[in-house]
Structure 1
Amino acid sequence: MKRNVILVILAGLSLLLAQVALSQNESTGPSMVELWQKSGHANPQSSSFTHWNDEGEIPVSCAACHSGEGFRAFHGIDGSSVGVIDKPVATGGVVDCATCHDDGVKQLEQILFPSGAAIAAHDGSATCLTCHQGRQSGPDLDQRTTGLPDDEVNSELSFVNPHYALAAATLFGTEVKGGYEYPGRDYAGKFSHVEAYSTCIDCHEPHSTQVTLDNCTSCHKVDELRDIRTSKLDFDGDGDVTSGIYAEISALHEKLLSAIEAYAETVSEAPIAYAKQYPYFFHAETEPTYANRYNAWTPALLRAAYNYQFIGMDKGAYAHNPHYAVQLLHDAITDLADRTNATNIEIGPRP
């Protein structure tokens, strides 16, 4: 009898221990390293890391964000001068663990943006802010065009590319002036969200970089992030106020390209086309090669094209700062439309 009782107790304990072990395994899930290995940051075959393989080293102007070694050198974490990279950085690296976890990263108090604005680095955001801020800013456009007639082609002007994956520049809006902001207009600052989801790693799993989707959809009651919408204003002028804000921004983005094409044909008198390869704007009906890059820029056209690219290079602009995105697109469209007396491009109100 006692033996049977003991066996029952042991069986129960074994089952309990198995359940605990299973629960722990399910709760821990993939390790940090496994999550990181699935991210673009860890992909050694990505063009972000292989682009300079033929040269054998990464240019000092690019190395801060295209290798962990370069990042640590740029911020002086390796003992070198702060804000510059004073030695070549070899290819073959990725955004490694130390890029975010080195003790020196925790000591970074602020990050400078291309406009010169300094943003406080907290809650593990220093690495994100450094490498997702773009390479240009709105004020750079003013520096290139000050004193030039807005609607005259100038052969010395060339397209200004804001760079890629510039979520931080979108997020902080006019505080860092990542987009071109038209004179006399007000622009949104940092996108205000609930406190629990106000930093990069509140919304993105820091190792895989994937968006923590359930945290968004459970509150907003939608199936997809792109369906989120809180404003009832019809920004793109199509009469639909039920689609997600992503659809509004996408429609305005398309309308800006139409305005750019109309302006180039009527004012610059040189039709323009866009392609998803460097340097992005080309003479229409030509092969998209560097030799055929667009070169009939006016200051007004250059500013609008910059904003078109700025929004296009942040695929999450609708989540990072939707009001700033709509404002940049709206103002660029209306500026070009006014200059061409266009009446065929309809948009809605500006936030």
Structure 2
Amino acid sequence: MKRRIWFALTVVAGVALVALAAGPFEQWQRSGHANQLLAVMEATVEARGTGAAGCGRCHAQQGYVVYLQQLQSGFSGNIRKPDGTDADVEYLTSLGLTEAQVQPQTCTACHSAESFQLRIRDDVPTLPSGFSAQGVGKGAVCMTCHNTRNGRITWDAADAGRYTAPHTASQADVLMGKNSYFVNDTTLATASPHALFTGNACVTCHLIFGEEGHTFEPGEAVCTNCHGPNMQEEFVQEPTEHLLGLLAAAIGRRVAQAGAQIATVRAYDPTTGQFTDNFAVDGSQVTGAEPTEIRGQISLKLLLADGTAVYSQLRDVKDAAGQAVIATTDPLVRAAWNFFLIEGDDSLGVHNPRFARNVLNASIEALQ
């Protein structure tokens, strides 16, 4: 009898453990972290060549483990070989960054395969986005990838020096109040209480208070946990969305003012993903523009008088002499960076309401 009872208890315990594991796994399967196609597109040598050393840092489990080790040793750049030289296709292949072997962000990306503890927590070394973070609990693991990864910008620079857009996963930058133009981001005054005073930053709202576990979807009522039953995310999101619209309109007006100078663009077809060099545009027919992003670059959807539109990266909008119509010294470039910083955070200001509002208002003012 005792043996039967012991066997039954063992079976029950085993089933319970499987159920506990199945919950997070099933949730993960519904998350963006489980996107195998994205891993193949962004983190394999077949798709990216040696570029997989950059994108593979966060779009593949195998790449992330190597990247994090390098980050913790003080190097935030692309994956390197053990001897410190740039990773080549052979080395990236040996890591498993191939169509046949690549894995998305699986459990063992964030968690150690041996102890199942998070690979990093509390403090984040200097990130590819050029800043560090301390005391952010379990949110540290999120910040290692959810950052703009384009280096540290100087908030009061008169020349952006490039047309690069912030990498879409800009949550760490917005939470910590970093990498904005026109707003002084050199102190902790711009950091969000959501990052500093919730115990685990990202994880607090997206997992601990979240209703969907490892999908990392926070749920509609997550704000009420701390801010009371009447608090709604729309109170922050709707004004932020309005300010984004005002900034987009200001960018469009500034482009329209310079429209007569436009002679050619490197036209982009969003359907095929192909470019056409030296595509002629009658600048007098440009009535406005909408900010967009093409392959990591600040770009425009140029609106023409006949109702059609032409897409181009901003750097390729040229005058008759072949010069950029909008130089990197133009405040439009810095304002557009700020637009994509806040838009790409994807919380519509919830992550850091004051910072988001200040950045958008300052950008609108800079274009007046």
Q: TM-score range by the shorter chain?
A: 0.5 to 0.7
**Normalization by structure 2: what TM-score?**
0.65
1:123-142 alignment, distance < 5 Å: 123-136=137-150, 139=153
- Paired position in structure 1 for 2:310: 287
**Against the structure 1 CA distance between its residues 135 and 80, is the aligned structure 2 distance closer, same or farther, given a 3 Å change threshold?**
closer
**Normalization by structure 1: what TM-score?**
0.67
Deviation string 1:301-336 (CA, Å, 9 cap, x unpaired) is 111111111111111142100110011110011111
- Paired position in structure 1 for 2:281: none
Counterpart-to-counterpart distance in 2, 1:307 and 1:322: 14
Unmatched 5+ stretches in structure 2:
1-12, 81-86, 208-212, 263-287, 318-323
- Paired position in structure 2 for 1:252: 243
- Paired position in structure 2 for 1:322: 353
Aligned CA RMSD, in angstroms, stands at: 3.9
Question: Is residue 2:79 matched to residue 1:50?
Answer: no
Displacement of 1:189: 1.9
**Against the structure 1 CA distance between its residues 81 and 178, is the aligned structure 2 distance closer, same or farther, given a 3 Å change threshold?**
closer
Question: Is residue 2:225 matched to residue 1:202?
Answer: no
Q: Secondary structure at the match of 2:245?
A: helix
Letter in 2 for 1:287: V
Point out the structure with the larger strand share: 2
Question: Is residue 2:113 matched to residue 1:95?
Answer: no
In the alignment, is the contact (CA less than 8 A) between 2:122 and 2:139 conserved in 1? Answer: no
Displacement of 1:263: 1.9
Counterpart-to-counterpart distance in 1, 2:70 and 2:239: 43
Unmatched 5+ stretches in structure 1:
1-20, 147-156, 228-243, 338-351
- Paired position in structure 2 for 1:221: 229
Counterpart-to-counterpart distance in 1, 2:362 and 2:71: 44
In the alignment, is the contact (CA less than 8 A) between 1:136 and 1:178 conserved in 2? Answer: no
- Paired position in structure 2 for 1:64: 57
Counterpart-to-counterpart distance in 1, 2:314 and 2:129: 30
In the alignment, is the contact (CA less than 8 A) between 2:291 and 2:299 conserved in 1? Answer: yes
In the alignment, is the contact (CA less than 8 A) between 2:61 and 2:106 conserved in 1? Answer: yes
Deviation string 1:186-241 (CA, Å, 9 cap, x unpaired) is 99522114945651111012621110444423543248x432xxxxxxxxxxxxxx
Q: How many residues align?
A: 285
In the alignment, is the contact (CA less than 8 A) between 2:128 and 2:148 conserved in 1? Answer: yes
Letter in 2 for 1:316: S
Counterpart-to-counterpart distance in 2, 1:331 and 1:42: 38
Deviation string 1:76-96 (CA, Å, 9 cap, x unpaired) is 279999545113251422111
- Paired position in structure 1 for 2:192: 191
Q: Percent identity?
A: 22
Question: Is residue 2:336 matched to residue 1:305?
Answer: yes
Displacement of 1:259: 1.1
Counterpart-to-counterpart distance in 2, 1:81 and 1:276: 31
Letter in 2 for 1:192: P
- Paired position in structure 2 for 1:234: none
Counterpart-to-counterpart distance in 1, 2:169 and 2:191: 17
**Against the structure 1 CA distance between its residues 190 and 140, is the aligned structure 2 distance closer, same or farther, given a 3 Å change threshold?**
closer
Counterpart-to-counterpart distance in 1, 2:130 and 2:254: 32
In the alignment, is the contact (CA less than 8 A) between 1:253 and 1:329 conserved in 2? Answer: yes
Deviation string 1:272-302 (CA, Å, 9 cap, x unpaired) is 4334644452362343256995442232111
**Against the structure 1 CA distance between its residues 133 and 78, is the aligned structure 2 distance closer, same or farther, given a 3 Å change threshold?**
closer
Letter in 1 for 2:110: C
- Paired position in structure 1 for 2:169: 165
Displacement of 1:171: 0.5
